[in-house]
Amino acid sequence: MAKKDPKPSTRKPGQRRISRSLFVFAFDILIVWLAFFVALWARFDFSIDLIPKVYLETYVFIIPIWCVLTVAVFGLFRLYRSVWTYVSIDEACTMMIAYLVLIVCFIVTKFALDVHMPRSFYAIGIVLAFGMHLGLRFSYRLLRFLLRGARRRNSERAGETENVMVIGGGAAGSIIIRELKNDSHQNKRPVCIIDDNPNKIGKYLYGIPIVGDRNSIVERVAEYNVGTIIFAIPTASAADRKNILNICKDTGAKLRTLPGMYQLANGEVSVSRLKDVELTDLLGREPITIDNNEVFQMITGKTILVTGGGGSIGSELCRQIAAHHPKQLIIFDIYENNAYEIQQELLRKYKNNLNLVTLIGSVRNTHRISSVMMQYKPDIVFHAAAHKHVPLMEESPNEAIKNNVMGTYKTATAAAEAGVKTFVLISTDKAVNPTNLMGASKRICEMIIQMMNRRDTVTNFVAVRFGNVLGSNGSVVPLFKKQIAEGGPVTVTDKNITRFFMTIPEAVSLVLQASQYAKGGEIFVLDMGEPVKIDDLARNLIKLSGYTPDVDIKIEYTGLRPGEKLYEEKLMDEEGMQTTNNKLIFIGKPIEMDDAWFRTKLNELDRDSREDDENIKKYVQEIVPTYKPGSF
């Protein structure tokens, strides 16, 4: 028969607190009685018979007064409100101050009441009482420490405890080590510390040895049988972080890390804040930053429209725009679930402090996008609505033209007619010498932007071109993580394929900065560092997950997909390169073309895509000569 659940306590929290306080009052009073009696007893060689009767009578007279004084002073210093689980040096210092006050009170009562006792009675009694009162308050923590040690030893004998290496013997590392040692439920035991400071090597932090620098990580992991490595240097540069984590990933241990330096600054360092190491930790460059003051001035008090506002880039744009106090933020998306999610997130965060409008509609619908532009008259438009999946667009090329090309043309035209000040197109490095239909469609979008900018309008049209975004919907990293979680295999199209990568915040920072720099007609390009081999990315992610590639998790090469090329480019040869104030952002110069001819071709594309013409790729190639369908 199953046991019944124990009857829950009917006492309220306030009643339990009073009960605990009364219990401590009683022990504090008992300690005063006992400490000063032992002091008197010790003065006369631990023989009660030798104690003069007058001293015993004086003891019985003065001790109740001192008990009341002790309880009153302890209450004044809030010593009955301490949480004994976390009692520390702070409580010890408070106790010392309280006893200084008590000594003054004892002296006052001695002279006021004309009390005469041996000098050793006062000295020994005060020392004993202080030690016993302090010991009482630390006793619960000591008991927990002993029980925790017993549980940990049982876990170790049962093989349930995992050895942990902490990289970083600074403030963050010390907090992590202390928490791991104090929490027996973690089943993780810190066994060694790595620190590059030679003055720390050979020393101990909370009893854990600092055993070497980064060059000894692999050796020490094997020596101490480490299962998890915690990277606890939130102030490390991107280059140092990459170097250390590259060493760690070859150990076979699972990696965890603190999110960043702000965790330390905000006092938020703890085991619960740890996260698994991500591929972003291995990019090896500092995050792209922007002049927040410039962007703040640009956005504050403006009406801003984000098409595709529910997508990966669009939603992050909305978050950052909302934080800069726009006059009005308009989210425009055809997918109601995405739009609803970002709408609810912003409403929860900003409540009535954000003028938010969420609209459902398609950029392919001329009347809908035009009416939205004319009704709300946005100052800035961020055009993020697009189909972006390369293989899917190869199979449905007419849809790519309808949504990407004609959607951009219709949205840009509506923006110009509504007097929008700045129009920013979200583009891709796949638009450079494209081999797939998606990339070619985005190249035509860039041409539309530059053509529109040459029109006699008040609108500055610009495009922002960047590479693959880590963590975005449909990107390779979430796919790899899912495949690893399922036990593999991890699929890579080609062993030599490379891509440029950036984070979502970096992509949005670039977009916002571009809108600040915009004078009209520019294509802004981010220097994303060196391209990354997808095969290396897959292998690193497997290692970061604590597995061995091709042993625990198999890697399969599936071959390039239709329209996919081995490497991406940032600029076409004829675009050139111009720097900006942000040394990691460049501008590709506009390419000359016949706008009248281009508009004619756009009208033909519009007609052919609506008719689902099977020759649509050939028509796209006429506009983008560098597009080579099937050249992979």
Active site residues: 430
523 and 588 Cβ atoms separated by less than 8 Å: yes
254 and 198 Cβ atoms separated by less than 8 Å: no
70 and 32 Cβ atoms separated by less than 8 Å: yes
32 and 67 Cβ atoms separated by less than 8 Å: yes
Q: Of 289, 290, 284, whose CA–CA distance to 529 is shortest? A: 284
Q: What sections of 498-594 are H helices per DSSP? A: 504-517, 534-544
Q: Of 397, 459, 456, whose CA–CA distance to 616 is shortest? A: 397
Q: How many helices (H) and strands (E) does the chain have?
A: 21, 22
Q: Under DSSP, is residue 463 helix (H, G, I), strand (E, B) or coil?
A: strand
Q: For residue 131, what are its two tokens?
A: 């030690």
532 and 566 Cβ atoms separated by less than 8 Å: no
State which amino acid sits at residue 31: I
Phi, psi of 586 (to 5 degrees): -125, 165
Contacts of residue 504, defined as CB under 8 A and 6 or more positions apart, other chains included, come to 312, 313, 316, 469, 470, 471, 472
What number of other Cβ atoms are within 10 A of residue 431's Cβ?
26
Residue with tokens 């508009």: 599
Buried (b) or exposed (e) across 610-628, using 16+ Cβ within 10 A?
eeebeebbebbbebbebbb
Residue count (the chain): 632
On the question of a cis peptide bond just before residue 489, with omega within 30 degrees of 0, the verdict is yes
Q: What sections of 249-335 are H helices per DSSP? A: 261-265, 292-299, 312-322
Task: Classify burial at 40, counting beta carbons within 10 Å of its beta carbon; exposed 0-12, middle 13-18, buried 19 or more.
Answer: buried
Q: Under DSSP, is residue 501 helix (H, G, I), strand (E, B) or coil?
A: strand
DSSP state of 213: -
Q: Under DSSP, is residue 107 helix (H, G, I), strand (E, B) or coil?
A: helix
Q: For residue 81, what are its two tokens?
A: 């409100």
